[in-house]
Chains A and B, each alone.
Chain A
Amino acid sequence: MHRHQNIRDNLISKYSSLVDDEKKFANFINLPLKQSFRVNTLKEEKEIVLDKLKEYDPKIKTTEWNDNAHISELDNLGSSLEHFVGHIYIQELTSMIPPLVVKDLMKNISIIDCCAAPGSKTTQMAAMMENKGHIIANDARHVRLKSLRGNLDRLGVTNTSVTLRDFKSFPNTKADLYFVDAPCSSEGTIRKKNSVARNWREKDYIRFNKLQKGLLGKACEMAPSGSTVVYSTCTFSPDENEKVVSDILNKHDMKMKKINIKNLKSEPGITKWNNETYNSEVEKCMRVWPHHNDTDAFFIARMEKC
């Protein structure tokens, strides 16, 4: 417990210069998160499911920035019949953001989700596309495919193929949209997961930065002209966020696209950290801090291949 608090304190002091309100940031990072979920519209209408769920928890709220992101006072909606039959998916609010930043594209398109397990964003995109188009849900680890497949089955996703590959050696495949929700130090989920505090190591930044650049670089390399690449992580660390995007912009023919989600408070990407200056275009990235919307932390970049 002592170590967990130390790590929280370290994170607060480390990133205090980046946030707009240090006190609020410190306060929120120590608060637990409520359970959040979305309705799986592939199987049932949102209003019908919400009406039923409100019988268990009349205090269920919908966020102002996503009409299918809901918060419950209960912490065990996973044991509801709605979860069993695939009418809901329990998902962190911030994890629902990446598909929303490409809402304009979500029609009959092809998508490669490079690091898909356990399938939160894959199933969300499948629902947004009404099971049309085509998604390749890839993951590098066999052990993670079980949860991915289980979620695709439970939610009734039929437009998805599951592949097992290290994405860095994935055969060149054309798609309209590449999703790189990269493995990261997960600092931003510290409100929910004690394991983050337990497993946190300073040297992870270097390891993850290398891995993230490899994954995003591969997606940018195989993306055809005009296609979109979305990069996201759930960490505060600029080394895993802006630095990765900046290096990619300097090497690949990509242009940044501005992101805006109505009613979601966020901040632009930072351009300086630890005596390093990044490509100024990274300002177009989106940073979500825990105290802004009472969520985890998240980072997203949307790019287009020139």
Chain B
Amino acid sequence: MLKPLLKEKKHLIQDYCIERFGMDSEIWNNYKWYSGSKNKIYIANTLDIERIVPESKGICIFRLDKSPKPTTNFLQLFGKYVSKNFLEINNEDTIKYCKGEDLILENSNSIIPGFILITNKNRALGCGHWNGKLLKNQLPKSKFCKINFL
């Protein structure tokens, strides 16, 4: 069951997005924030329904365990607002990424270790975790797929 998110947690995530991804805080203006099970955070611009509890609302954007972790759904939807800590990968690595594989990459000096947005030719692919040497794949298993056209 979704509950309205506490203000402190909302600000924690907004500050993270501003600091980590250089996002503008105005992109959140039209959304309501909710917390669900397993520390999942949702945003939605829906109305509250009377007399029925919905299974879900809007999309899950973060998991808030020890630190905030952005979801692939979030980065695919809001990727266009990301101005730092994103990494462009080539077609060969994109196919591997979509299969769920981790990537060993060079020329990633400007990236601060942590969660990053992966892109291919301006298309926001999803989330990865960069530790300075290895890009750990953060795609959920349900999204793993074989890409034939890119």
Chain A residues engaging chain B, CB cutoff 8 angstroms = 42-43, 56, 74, 76-77, 79-82, 84-87, 110, 131-132, 134-136, 145, 149-150, 152-154, 156-165, 170-171, 173
Contact = CB atoms under 8 A, between A and B. Distances in A.
A80 B77 contact: no
A84 B46 contact: no
B46 A163 contact: no
Contacts of A156: 59, 73, 76-77
A173 B149 contact: no
Interface of B: 31, 43-47, 49-52, 54-60, 73, 76-77, 94, 98, 120, 123-125, 142-143, 145-150
A161 B59 contact: no
A113 to B, nearest CB: 13
A81 B55 contact: no
A173 B142 CA distance: 33
Contact of B73 (A79, A82, A153): A153
Nearest to A153: B73
Contacts of A43: 76-77
Contacts of A81: 94, 98, 120, 123, 125, 147, 149-150
Given A156-B77, A158-B31, A158-B44, A163 B52 contact: yes
A145 B31 CA distance: 23
7 contacts: A43-B76, A79-B149, A81-B120, A131-B45, A160-B58, A163-B55, A171-B52
B59 to A, nearest CB: 5
Given A43-B76, A110-B47, A159-B46, 17 more contacts: A79-B146, A80-B149, A81-B98, A81-B123, A81-B149, A84-B143, A84-B145, A84-B147, A85-B123, A152-B59, A156-B76, A158-B44, A158-B45, A159-B44, A161-B46, A162-B56, A162-B57
